[in-house]
Amino acid sequence: MPFGFIAAYAVIVAVASVIEVPIGRGFKSVQLNLLIRLGSLAAALAALVVVHGAAVPTGQSALLGLGIGVLTGIGSIIYCLALIDLPLSLVVTLSNLYIVVTALLGMSLLHESVTAVKIAGLALTLVGVLLLAYPPASRYGVHSASSSAKKAPPIRAFLMMGAYVVMVGIGAFLEKPALRELDATQLNALMAVTMTAVAFVAFAVEGPKVQTSLRSLGGLGIGALIGMASVFYFLGLSGLHVALAAASSNAYIVV
């Protein structure tokens, strides 16, 4: 069943990523990021209300969920900024290295088993990421078609991608202990709140006003798909080791 949830996540995110390509044309990355986060927030809150009604999670577990959202939200902004100086294919390849950070933390801090099969599987996943270097986006990232490198990339771009890998890797690791106190819809909603807040801040600093159009509605729709997919991911994560869930979720690239 957990693998079934991860498979559902992979299919939905794959569809959202394909739709994102034409929808993203004409938007700056921070604009598209905000639209997607707003759509994800709407879907996350709807799922929370369906399962829990008006009850809002509180306590340390809620703060952890909000904190994870801040990490991953900032990671999305870093991803957008890296696209200014680096080609999309390289950003996607580097961004998926977050799996290594997540896996190492799970094995060292959660004492998840270290087996030859798991190491081989992780290695093959990374090889696949390198070979398939042209997927539309990472799990937490967005892009617009106009974002590409036109000159030799500066060192700061690679430093930003290093920060992205560490932050998103830590965030993905922390989701597992958070699910001990929260269910999938609660964690998804808490993260969506702070990720949207981070997106608003970045948009206020970097992005001009988004014109209302059918394409803008398309951005919201992509976000709703991702918000729905995230619930499936957390349901799968509840029954899997964090390293296995993080690696398996990247099957959306194949789809």
How would you classify residue 169: left for phi > 0, otherwise alpha for psi between -120 and 50, otherwise beta?
Answer: alpha
Which whole number is the average pLDDT over 103-108? 84
Which whole number is the average pLDDT over 170-189? 90
The pLDDT assigned to 207 comes to 62
CA distances from 239 to 20, 115, 179, 181 (A): 30, 18, 10, 14
Which whole number is the average pLDDT over 186-195? 93
What does the pLDDT look like over 201-245, one tens digit per residue?
988 887 667 666 777 888 889 999 999 999 999 999 988 888 788
The pLDDT assigned to 24 comes to 76
Alpha helix stretches (DSSP H) within the chain: 2-24, 29-52, 60-85, 88-95, 98-109, 116-131, 155-178, 184-206, 214-238, 242-249
The pLDDT assigned to 19 comes to 85
Residue 97's pLDDT band (cuts 50, 70, 90):
confident
DSSP string spanning 147-202? ----SPPPHHHHHHHHHHHHHHHHHHHHHHHHTTTS-HHHHHHHHHHHHHHHHHHH
Residue whose token pair is 């969920």 = 65
The pLDDT assigned to 252 comes to 84
Which whole number is the average pLDDT over 68-85? 87
The pLDDT assigned to 253 comes to 79
Closest CA to 173 of 66, 248, 246, 64: 246
